Structure 1
Amino acid sequence: MSTIGDYIRQQREQAKISLRQLADAAGVSNPYLSQIERGLRKPSADILQQIAKGLRISAEALYVQAGILEDRPADSGVRSALLTDPSLTERQKQVLIEIYESFRREGKPTPPTAEVISVVRDHPEAAQDAAQDTDPA
């Protein structure tokens, strides 16, 4: 993506929602969101967070695209796939990333993404339990 606006437009189109729907969900005006998508305005971190909620994607993904956060080291695409999966809630994405990172820290093989996502979709309570069992240290 060349700009944050291009990235937001791509995510909106993938989610199959209109500019008006996203503007309403994010709590911003249609013209303002249109200007962001066209690269005429640079949104603040707060606005990016609202847009991320409207798109149901990670705010971190938007922060990286906007240059607010540095992208983390390569993770074989697992982290990126989780952050951009529109069928996962923000909480599920956070839990899966925490689980994934804990496996990486321990040096254990990472479970296949598709299997983990399937488990979380079918058993969200298991993901919450797993998140409580992970050691953030």
Structure 2
Amino acid sequence: MRQLATMVGISNPYLSQIENGLRAPSEQVLDSIARSLGLSPEDLRAAEEEDTGSDLRVAIKADRSLTAAQRRALVEVYDAMLAANKAKAEG
């Protein structure tokens, strides 16, 4: 995270806030992050839009009564359950 923040030219706390959905990056910052990760800005925007597609994910990320770590853990558990259900349905 620190290395990416340095490459992008933003602070580590600001990058962490972006990652946790607490702050929305400007177009310039989003473009810099994408280039630093070797992605096109369009690919990163598509991933961002895909991630916010679930009402539950949006609700979890918006719940400020939870810590950032708790919100991240809940989203990870939710994603794991969806993946398990998908694998079961396919297999």
Q: How high is the TM-score relative to the length of structure 1?
A: 0.34
- State which structure, 1 or 2, has the greater radius of gyration over its C-alpha atoms: 1
Q: How high is the TM-score relative to the length of structure 2?
A: 0.49
